[in-house]
Amino acid sequence: MGFNTLLKEYVALVTNHPDRYYQDYLATINAVENSSAKFNNQTVPFLYNPLFFSTEDIKSFQGLTNTLMGILQKVIEKFISSPSFRIKFGFDQLLEELILVDPGYEVNIPMSRFDIFYYRPGVFKFCELNADGSSGMHKTNELERIFLNTAVVNQLKTKYQLSYYELIDTWVNESLKNYQQFNGHLDRPNVVIMDWQQAGNLKEFEAFKQAYENKGCRAAIADPRHLRYDGQKLYYRDMRVDLIYRRLVTSELISNHQQLTDFIQAYRAGAVCVIGPLRSEIIHNKIIFKILHHDTEDLLSAAEREFINKHVPYTAEFSGEESLFLKIQHNKDNFVLKPKDQYAAAGVYVGKDYSNTQWQRLTAQCWENNYLVQEYCQPFVGPLIEFKQQQAVVNNYNQMLGLFVYNQKFAGLYTRVGRNNVISQQHGYYLLPNFVIGQNL
């Protein structure tokens, strides 16, 4: 059963019998509103529509994850060993210094989410690599938990085995493995989930906190400004901090470093296990796609270079020769402009979304201003259900899949859809639950 085959059956069930499922749709809205699927205390937007993935799809995700992680590992190792290679990334001195700190465990990137446009097994394009404060695990699991018992899914379960990837306890287990490499003498570390006090993902942090406590760990959610280092150990209030699950993104950590001296000193000294390490910025910063295309010829095998050329959108710095500027300005539908280090699609401009006059203004604004230019990749477009009052209406939506990667292995799915070319909170999106057909996960 190929990608989206079962989705067609789901859509047909609802559209052929909307009166049968409308009350369940309303009950699902109520269940989600009363769940902890929240961001900034707002219920996440969603459609009455899961996605379904086959065994073949999952094998494709596992394969592409393994291939890309192998490539990225080579890039990270060269960054660590080669000062001349490090220059290509353009990181400031403090960030580079912190990236070079050994995190004390084997895996350089313990947590990441690879966002892709997925068309079918073997046919996909990467959108971006999120390896810094990766989020969404709890929200998608809450939707999956609720949808697994909706009327339509229960109907499908009479014919198909459906399951989903659990992402909270799984991550806690993986992070504790990393901690055991850092300090094999302490089975139950004291854990801090670290982000700004006003961070919007509090419900997700609370889910992780509970999961750590269920493992016998003492756990807290803490603002990094409230951590104190005594020269030996790091503390949050009266609690010694052994393990930090870092959700604070690197760009904000560096820009606010003068307020975070205790954390930074403890990190430099190896006094606390920090997951993920600052070296996550090597692959998180959007310049990684430019590096992969332009600066790895002597680093990668022929097969790896072919993988990059086929699946990673061509990317270059939006600076230098005037001919590049004119090419981008006069071919707006083929290109996207992206800032090197922002998140949540901030500052991203898709040429298709603008008039010629607007695009001329944007290209002038972004030129020589720390921007990258990237080839435009059309997201996969698929039919999904919306209820308009009591009528089930099918509309086409752009889809973007997020592949969670825990300790370099594919761990689960996160799907956002939208009507716009940029699929994000800022530009309008819906979250969908994800089910796998025919496997116990």
d(CA 51, CA 150): 14
Sign of CA dihedral 181, 183, 186, 189: negative
d(CA 43, CA 32): 7
- Mean pLDDT of the 32-61 span: 95
Orientation angle between helical segments 137-147 and 168-182, nearest 10 degrees: 140
d(CA 180, CA 189): 9
Sequence-distant (≥ 6) Cβ neighbours of residue 354 within 8 angstroms? 332, 362
pLDDT at res. 393: 94
- When pLDDT is cut at 50, 70 and 90, the band that residue 4 belongs to is confident
- Residue 330 clears pLDDT 80, i.e. is over it: yes
| Phi, psi of 413, rounded to the nearest 5 degrees | -125, 150
d(CA 344, CA 234): 31
- Residue 211 clears pLDDT 80, i.e. is over it: yes
| Phi, psi of 142, rounded to the nearest 5 degrees | -65, -45
- Mean pLDDT of the 333-340 span: 91
d(CA 424, CA 422): 6
pLDDT at res. 347: 82
- Mean pLDDT of the 334-358 span: 84
Q: Each residue of 233-254: pLDDT tens digit?
A: 999 999 999 999 999 999 999 9
d(CA 441, CA 439): 6
- Residues above pLDDT 70, as percent of the chain: 95
Strand partners, 70: none
The separation between the first and the last C-alpha atoms of the chain, rounded to the nearest angstrom, is 18
Q: Is 104 left (phi over 0), alpha (psi -120 to 50) or beta?
A: left
**Side chain identity at 199, as an amino acid letter?**
A
pLDDT at res. 344: 52
Q: How much is the mean pLDDT over the chain?
A: 94
By the 8 A CB rule, do 371 and 318 touch? yes
- Residue 71 clears pLDDT 90, i.e. is over it: yes
Q: Each residue of 359-368: pLDDT tens digit?
A: 999 999 999 9
Does the model's pTM come out above 0.85? yes
Sign of CA dihedral 194, 200, 201, 206: positive
- Residue 100 clears pLDDT 70, i.e. is over it: yes
Nearest 5°: the CA angle 91, 92, 98 is 85
Sequence-distant (≥ 6) Cβ neighbours of residue 35 within 8 angstroms? 43, 142, 145, 146
Long-range contacts: 210-218, Cβ < 8 Å, 24+? 211/168, 211/169, 211/171, 211/172, 212/172, 214/169, 215/172, 215/173, 215/176, 215/188, 216/187, 216/188, 217/188, 217/189, 217/190, 217/191, 217/243, 218/188, 218/190, 218/191
pLDDT at res. 364: 93
Strand partners, 278: none
pLDDT at res. 143: 98
d(CA 417, CA 401): 9
Q: Each residue of 142-184: pLDDT tens digit?
A: 999 999 999 999 999 999 999 999 999 999 999 999 999 999 9
Which residue is it, tokens 């904000």? 252
- When pLDDT is cut at 50, 70 and 90, the band that residue 425 belongs to is low
Q: How far is CA 417 from the centre of its chain?
A: 14
- Residue 2 clears pLDDT 90, i.e. is over it: no
